[in-house]
Amino acid sequence: MDRKPWLVGVTGASGTPYAAAVLRGLIDAGEDVDLVISQAARLTLIDETGRGVRDKHWQQDVGSWVSRDVSRVRYWSAGDIAAGPASGSYRTKGMIIVPATTASVAGIAAGTSKDLLQRAADVTLKERRRLVIVLRETPLRLSTLDNLRTLALEGAIIMPASPAFYAGATDIDQLVDFMAGRVLDLCDVEHDLYRRWTGTLGAARMVAHAE
Ligand SMILES: Cc1cc2nc3c(=O)[nH]c(=O)nc-3n(C[C@H](O)[C@H](O)[C@H](O)COP(=O)(O)O)c2cc1C
């Protein structure tokens, strides 16, 4: 059967735990995954996890980073501009950029395709496939807001890394999983990463407080 992966791009914003959680969610759901990690993201990975990802040993490095079997993952070097995802004829279900930098947002909005990750995002947009951008930066300057507007007008889903607290998270992993779960929701990927809001929970709490 035709392989149709989700493409995951990791850029050099703070938030590599979000990327790991999304990757775990996709793998656990049995999805095929194509992975591109920008040069800057290698630095944030080292900074935030103490781990590097080496192109030659990516299976070992990514496997231990996400604590999963990565046999359904295909890794592409960010410098490999001739890689599969650089072409619209390479089929994917869409692309998730997690975390996304303001620099990548600018590059994708301008269409400059400075590396495979940005080219793949460009392709995702031109092929009218789903593009989820999990931006991590605050505050935002006007040019970033303009770039996000441009991307939203082109159909990208802008999803700031902004976990909510209503799901009852009691530790950081649960906040991270909440974000990852919301990303997977946008991709129609089944998961059990957070407790969904049902409405009744909030009403019951209000009643309890009113009494
Ligand atoms: C430790 C560290 C954390 C960073 N965090 C962010 C961030 O949260 N958001 C952001 O937009 N850029 C952040 N940057 C800056 C980007 O890494 C930088 O702009 C880089 O050129 C982005 O390249 P890329 O988009 O190709 O990954 C960070 C850099 C470092 C070293």
Does position 84 have pLDDT exceeding 60, yes or no?
A: yes
Residues 109-126 as b or e (16 or more Cβ within 10 Å = b): beeebbbbbbbbbbbbbe
Q: CATH number of the domain that 44 lies in?
A: 3.40.50.1950
What confidence tens digit (pLDDT) does each residue in 112-151 have? 999 999 999 999 999 999 999 999 999 999 999 999 999 9
Q: Which atom of ligand 1 is nearest to the CA of 40?
A: 27
What confidence tens digit (pLDDT) does each residue in 157-186 have? 999 999 999 888 999 999 999 999 999 999
204 or 56, higher pLDDT: 56
Distance, in Å, from the CA atom of 18 to the CA atom of 195, rounded to the nearest integer, reads 17
The reply to whether 1 falls in a domain is no
The reply to whether 81 falls in a domain is yes
Domain total for the chain? 1
What confidence tens digit (pLDDT) does each residue in 37-61 have? 999 999 999 999 999 999 999 999 9
Task: Tell how far the Cα of 105 is from the centroid of ligand 1, in angstroms.
Answer: 11
Question: Which domain covers residue 158, as residue numbers?
Answer: 6-210
Is the distance from the beta carbon of residue 101 to the nearest atom of ligand 1 less than 6 Å? yes
Per the annotation, does 136 bind a ligand? yes
Average pLDDT, rounded, for the chain: 95
Q: Please report the pLDDT score of residue 33 as a whole number.
A: 98
Alpha carbon distances (Å) from 7 to 10, 53, 196: 10, 17, 26
The reply to whether 29 falls in a domain is yes
Per the annotation, does 166 bind a ligand? yes
Nearest CA to 53 among 68, 71, 69, 35? Answer: 35
Strand arrangement of the beta sheet that strand 33-37 belongs to? 73-77, 33-37, 6-10, 94-100, 130-135, 157-158
Q: Give the number of residues written for the chain.
A: 211
Is the distance from the beta carbon of residue 47 to the nearest atom of ligand 1 less than 6 Å? yes
Q: How confident is the model at residue 26 (pLDDT cuts 50, 70, 90)?
A: very high
Is the distance from the beta carbon of residue 145 to the nearest atom of ligand 1 less than 6 Å? no
Task: Tell how far the Cα of 158 is from the centroid of ligand 1, in angstroms.
Answer: 17
* Contact between residue 66 and residue 86 where contact means Cβ atoms under 8 Å apart: no
* H or E segment and range at residue 76: strand 73-77
